[in-house]
Copies of this chain bind each other. A is one copy, B any other.
Amino acid sequence: MLQSQETVVKVLVLGGDGFCGWPCAVNLAENGHDVVVVDNLSRRKIDLELGVESLTPIAGIGDRLEVWEQSGGRAMRFVSMDIAHDYDQLLGLLRSEQPGAVVHFAEQRAAPYSMKSSRNKRYTVDNNVNGTHNLLCAIVESGLDIHIVHLGTMGVYGYGSHRGATIPEGYLTVEVPQPDGTRFRENILHPTDPGSVYHMTKTLDQLLFFYYNKNDSIRITDLHQGIVWGTNTELTDRDPRLSNRFDYDGDYGTVLNRFLMQAAIGYPLSVHGTGGQTRAFIHIRDSVKCVQLAIENPPTSTDKVKIFNQMTESHRVKDLAEKVAAVTGAEINFLPNPRKEAIENDLIVDNRCLIDLGLKPTTLDDGLLAEVVDVARRFADRCDRRRIPCVSAWTQTQAKAVAAG
């Protein structure tokens, strides 16, 4: 669906070479928007550092853009930039491109990677906080009216007990009891309870957004995304050189994709702890649609930060494993948990904002589980089994439990 001329948005996609960023960029281009991909290729460099590769072979960003255009896609440009450290270059780019929107995926996004060592913790905080803050500063300094669409995480709310209550979209109405027996009502940013240094950086982002929205009227949509599963969209499936990455390793692989890959290669499904942890999920195809909906429905300059819960369903990890086992015949292996987290939790989430904007959820029951298993099976020979275990521990106690287990 092409946009009419007035509704075409010039969009910078920061982190547009990554797992969510790449399919998001092509989806925006396909829908008529004018896209510039901005990336420092840090995700590919971390592959080198960890000694792993995407299960699916992925082309370089130059080839991706060339093939995309050759296959009939609207041309996109690429700018190599580290937004956390190249502030002047970022400001110059905003001034020369004058985008209507910036999608901000340019953060280190793996909780286990963020917990590996002090170096990883420090990199994650420095990169994510300075990246987000540089973007906000540069928009203020440019004087341009640019809408930021940021990829946050459902993890900002935490996975402690919400006592059966529904998690609202970003803001919580509370009553404050007073000594005289009265109470007053306030609508506050939902209290945060991050489960890793990575998740913590997204709670810091929230406060940066809150402040710059209040002081400088910056327009912001913060998408609190669930765990993404799936690999390709219709568009990245067009040509093998457009393929999206598929992470299966213990640091970057997300739980459902790991189960599907494990099933495909005959490796027991790794459930850490009881499997009673409940998490929110979204398919990559829905994720890219949500970003598009956010861009096409921006806040006004007097709106506070718009927060959407970008997820379509919640599942217990153990139930997911059983579902994958039922489809594939895989075995389930219960392992010690390297994370410090609640043994189990409930998770009821309000996601009406994106549904009301027109999102049609892709669910686990839509047959896509099998599709992902097929992808994993096709590239099974590229899997390095030594990279499957989760080796990042949250604390010394956790590390010992994993080593003993």
Q: Cβ of A87 < 8 Å from any Cβ of B? A: yes
- In the bound complex, do residue A175 and residue B174 qualify as a contact, i.e. CB atoms below 8 Å apart? yes
- Docked complex Cα distance between A211 and B155 (Å): 13
- In the bound complex, do residue B122 and residue A137 qualify as a contact, i.e. CB atoms below 8 Å apart? yes
Identify the closest chain B residue to A163 (Cβ).
B184
- In the bound complex, do residue A122 and residue B87 qualify as a contact, i.e. CB atoms below 8 Å apart? yes
- Docked complex Cα distance between A193 and B121 (Å): 27
Q: Cβ of A216 < 8 Å from any Cβ of B? A: yes
Which residue among A87, A133, A175 has the maximum number of chain B CB atoms within 10 Å of its CB?
Answer: A133
- Docked complex Cα distance between A126 and B396 (Å): 28
Residues of the B chain whose Cβ atoms lie less than 8 Å from the Cβ of A178: 165
- Docked complex Cα distance between A133 and B129 (Å): 11
Other-chain residue from B91, B126, B179, B207 in contact with A207 (beta carbon distance below 8 A):
B207
Q: Cβ of A176 < 8 Å from any Cβ of B? A: yes
Q: Contacts A137-B121, A200-B208, A207-B200: A183 and B175 contacting too (C-beta < 8 A)?
A: yes
- A80-102 interface mask toward B, CB cutoff 8 Å, 1 = contact, 0 = none? 00000001000100000000000
Q: Which residues of A in the span 172-196 have a Cβ within 8 Å of any Cβ on B?
A: 172-179, 183-184, 186, 188-189, 191-194
Which residue among A121, A143, A166, A179 has the maximum number of chain B CB atoms within 10 Å of its CB?
Answer: A121
Q: Cβ of A395 < 8 Å from any Cβ of B? A: yes
- Docked complex Cα distance between A176 and B200 (Å): 24
Q: Cβ of A270 < 8 Å from any Cβ of B? A: no
* Least CB distance, A248 to chain B, in whole angstroms: 26
- In the bound complex, do residue A207 and residue B192 qualify as a contact, i.e. CB atoms below 8 Å apart? yes
Q: How large is the interface on A (under 10, 10 to 19, 20 to 34, 35 or more residues)?
A: 35 or more
Other-chain residue from B125, B174, B183 in contact with A133 (beta carbon distance below 8 A):
B125
Residues of the B chain whose Cβ atoms lie less than 8 Å from the Cβ of A163: 184
Q: Which residues of A in the span 113-139 have a Cβ within 8 Å of any Cβ on B?
A: 118, 121-122, 125-126, 129-130, 133-134, 137-138
Q: Contacts A163-B184, A175-B177: A118 and B140 contacting too (C-beta < 8 A)?
A: yes
20 extra A-B contacts, CB within 8 A, seeds A143-B396, A191-B191, A200-B208: A87-B118, A87-B122, A118-B140, A118-B141, A121-B137, A122-B133, A122-B134, A126-B130, A126-B133, A129-B129, A129-B204, A163-B184, A165-B178, A166-B179, A172-B176, A188-B191, A192-B207, A194-B211, A207-B207, A216-B395
Q: Could you list 22 examples of A-B contacts with CB < 8 Å?
A: A118-B137, A118-B138, A122-B130, A122-B134, A122-B137, A125-B133, A126-B130, A129-B129, A143-B396, A165-B176, A166-B179, A173-B177, A174-B175, A174-B177, A175-B177, A186-B191, A193-B214, A194-B211, A197-B211, A200-B211, A203-B207, A207-B207
